[in-house]
Structure formats: C-alpha cells, structure tokens
Amino acid sequence: MPRQKGMVLTDRDRALLGYLAVARYVTAAQAHRLIAPDSDKAVTSRRLARLCEDGSGPDGEPYLKRLAYQRANSLPFPVWTLTPHGRDVAGPFAPGPVVPFLATAAIGFVLRVLAVNELLLALVLAARRSPVSPLVDLPFRWRGVSDPLRFQVRDLLHPARAAVLRPAAILDLPRERRRIFVEPELGVATLSPADPRRKHVTRRLERYGTYVFGSPTTDPRGTWYSAAFPDGYVPEVLLLSTSEARRAQVEASVREHFRHKEPRFTAGAFTLGGAVATFAPRVTPAATAVPRSPNPAPAPASAAPSPARPPGRTVFIDDALASRLRSGMRLYVETFRSMRRQASVHSETCPTRFALAAAPSDELNAFYRLLNKVVLGPPPTTAGEGRP
C-alpha cells in the first residue's frame, strides 16, 4: 500500500510554525522548550525531522528546512527555518507579521537572530497558558524586522540625507500601547573608540531621536515614526547585551547621551535575564477567576467579612537588576549627603544664607530598609555604603 502523503498538524506543530513565522530560526533546544518542555528531547528531535520530511501540499512539500552551520570550534550547529510552503501555512498561527524567506544567511546573522529570539521565547513561555495554546492569543506582537526603518536627517548646515535604523525586532504591547525597538549589543564593536564619532550607541540614539520626533514635512505634528506607525504607541528602545559588563558599558553610554539633553524617548540597557525580568510580568496574563457557585452556603451570622485582598503583581529580580538597584541606592545616598554638605558650606561662607529644611531621615531609612532588607536581602558590605 503506498504511503499517504502529508501529515496531520498538531497544536504543538502549529505553535512551532507560528513561532518560526516571526522568529525565522530555531535551535533544537529552543524548540524543545517551546513544544515539549515536559518530554524527552528525543521527542522534539523526531518531530523536527518529521516536519522536514512531509507536508500537506500537493507535492508533499516539507514545512521545515534544516540548515547545517558550524561554530568557530568546527562543531555542527543545526538550526531550523520555515520553507516557502511552511510560511504559507504558518501565517494564521503567527503572533505577528511573517518574516520574509531567506534562502541563505551567514552564521553571524543567524546567531544574532537566535540571541534576540531568546527574549521572544521567554515572553512566549511567560504569556501563554499551556504548550498547546495558540500563539495568536498572546497579549503582545513580535515583528522580525527585515526592511530597515528609513528616514531623513535635516539640519541648517547640510542638505537632507538618507538614514536608516535596523532594529533586530519590534515588540508591541497593546495593553500598554507601547512599542519596544529591540537593539542587540553583542560586543562586536568597542563602546569607547579613540574617535568619539564612532560611538555607535550614541549615534544610534541620535538617529532614534530624529526618527521619533523629526518631521518628514513642514508640519511639525507629523513625524517619521507616526508616519510608519500611526497607532499612537509610545516608543521605547531596548539595548540587549550578552553580559553584565557589556550592559554596564551600554548603560553608561545611554546616560552620557542624555546627560545634557532632555530625554525625548525611553531607552534602557538590559542583559537577557534583566529584559525577561522586566518584560515578562508585562505580558503575563492575569490569573483566571474561580467561578462562583450558583447557590453559595450562607456565612455564619457571627462571622465578620474578610477584608478584600488588594491586587498585586509578581516581580522578577535577577542578580543584574539587584546589583543595579543597590548601586542606584548607594549613588542616591552619596548624592544626598553631598548636596547637604554643599548647602551647609554655602550657608557658612556666603553672606546670603538660607535655612535648610530638616532631612526626612526616618522616611529615607525606611525606604533603605525596604529595598535592601525586604526586597533584595542584606547587601554586601561595601566601603562608603550606608543609610542617609
């Protein structure tokens, strides 16, 4: 009996196809976390192989294609992507626009996409209700950017010149009406070059400022950003780093950029763990309410009604974010002390004096204890660190 062509797609298959429609590439480890986190890895391997063999088209086209790459140490590094037929099928299951098909791509581009996809996968796992839940129901949208964001730079000394932005992805949060441009900082270029014009983080932030607030016409109410995204979402820039050291360098560049100018948009530097800790709670669905019984038993007359529990949310704090919070508190204490000392010196040495209001020591100490003892735990002993 001849073998029947085609295969029946399961809900997990559709989730994988929908994920690849916006992610472009997936590794075996990522696919396992997505479709079979509670099963043996061999289950995922067999399913990937099956999706590469048969499809539902008239000629039995496969859904996936296995791409064989090699790492720098010559070890094999396979990844999977959608075939043209798979892209056609995956559209209705995708949590965003389907990215264009690429027949070939360099290993550097693939690694860059996979690094950003770790954030996408973490958000999918945090937002979905089960491994078989449709990804189109996720409370966010992910755009894998293929075409650059084009605009023009104009000033009084030079004619208008073309410029582009190439974010790796765009994350839309409809509930917050915010749009996050994901920019990976993978450590390819130095952040402190000898030539200050080569500070690419600063130049990138300048281009985002022009794109978000620059006008393509004489009407100042229209901007390049609003022309491309007319939905009114508030833009943010997420600079994603692979290590805490790199994140600290990028964050220093962001602070330097905004030091002498008014911040015109939000930009933040995160490691992958910090980005997941920050954005996962923003896409996590609210807990499902327990249905009430149609005939509840009456409470005893002497029982006092229990007070309503105030709403809350779960916050994830990794080591990188905890370190930034402790560092911020330490800088705040040092700045507060310095301002008090300078004001006292001014009052003692200058004819014009002014009375200092009493420092809110009790409130500051209460905030210090809340942050360092309740939220983060006892901080490490560091010279110069103390309460206000």
Question: Tell me: the pLDDT tens digits for 32-58?
Answer: 999 999 899 999 999 999 999 876 665
**Strand stretches in the chain, DSSP E:** 64-70, 76-82, 141-144, 149-153, 161-165, 169-173, 178-185, 234-241, 266-271
332 vs 381, higher pLDDT: 332
> What is the per-residue pLDDT across 258-273, written as a single tens digit (0 to 9) for each?
886 766 788 999 999 9
Of 71 and 143, the structure prediction assigns the larger pLDDT to: 143
E runs forming strands in 72-192:
76-82, 141-144, 149-153, 161-165, 169-173, 178-185
DSSP state of 290: P
Q: Which residues contact 76 (CB under 8 A, 6 or more apart)?
A: 68, 69, 70
What is the average pLDDT value for the chain, to the nearest integer?
79
pLDDT tens, residue by residue, 95-127: 999 998 777 788 888 999 999 999 999 999 999
As a three-state string, the secondary structure of 197-220 is HHCHHHHHHHHHHHHHHCCCCCCC
Q: Is pLDDT above 90 for 171? A: yes
pLDDT tens readout for residues 279-337: 999 998 764 333 444 444 444 444 344 444 444 445 556 666 677 777 777 777 777 77
C-alpha–C-alpha distance, residues 102 and 86, integer Å: 13
d(CA 315, CA 126): 12
DSSP letter assigned to residue 4: P
Q: Tens of pLDDT along 341-373?
A: 777 777 777 777 666 666 666 666 667 666 766
Q: What DSSP string runs through 138-151?
A: SSSEEEE--S-EEE
pLDDT per position as a tens digit, 183-200: 998 755 444 444 444 477
Predicted local confidence at residue 381, as pLDDT = 47
Q: What's the confidence (pLDDT) of residue 101? A: 77
Split at pLDDT 50, 70, 90, the class of 145 is: confident
pLDDT at 384: 45
